[in-house]
Amino acid sequence: MSIHRRQYTECFLAALLPSLLLGWQVCWGLAALPLFTYYILYWAERLAVGHLAFDYEAEKESEEVSYFVVRKRFAWWKWYWKKELPAIDRDWLC
């Protein structure tokens, strides 16, 4: 859940300034867009491609203790909208 929380925060912050500027100029309803950006990206990829980059990153790095120390911002972006995701190494289960 910590990884998903970090992903939500990144999506929120990335959409904050553009939505406030558009909300100020066009419609105040757009100012609420950052609250839903994560879910919009989540379901858009789910419906279009059939898998999720957010869940892939969370599952792949779930056992890494120091992941937040070495994680780059928007690490999920390199897998977003890819047709195929690489296999996750599950040797730690054996």
In angstroms and rounded to an integer, the radius of gyration of the C-alpha atoms of the chain is 16
Categorize the per-residue pLDDT at 5 as very low, low, confident or very high, splitting at 50, 70 and 90: confident
User: What is the separation of C-alpha 34 from the centre of its chain, rounded to a whole number of angstroms?
Assistant: 13
More confident residue, 89 or 70: 70
- pLDDT digit string (tens) for 12-62? 988 888 887 876 677 777 777 888 888 988 898 888 888 888 888 888 777
Please name which of 55, 57, 50, 52 lies closest in space to residue 73, comparing C-alpha atoms: 57
Confidence of residue 91 (pLDDT cuts 50, 70, 90): low
**Helix segments in 49-91, DSSP class H:** 53-60, 67-70
Does the reported pTM lie above 0.95? no
Query: 24: which 2 tokens?
Result: 């100020």
What is the C-alpha to C-alpha distance for residues 66 and 36, in angstroms, rounded to an integer? Answer: 29
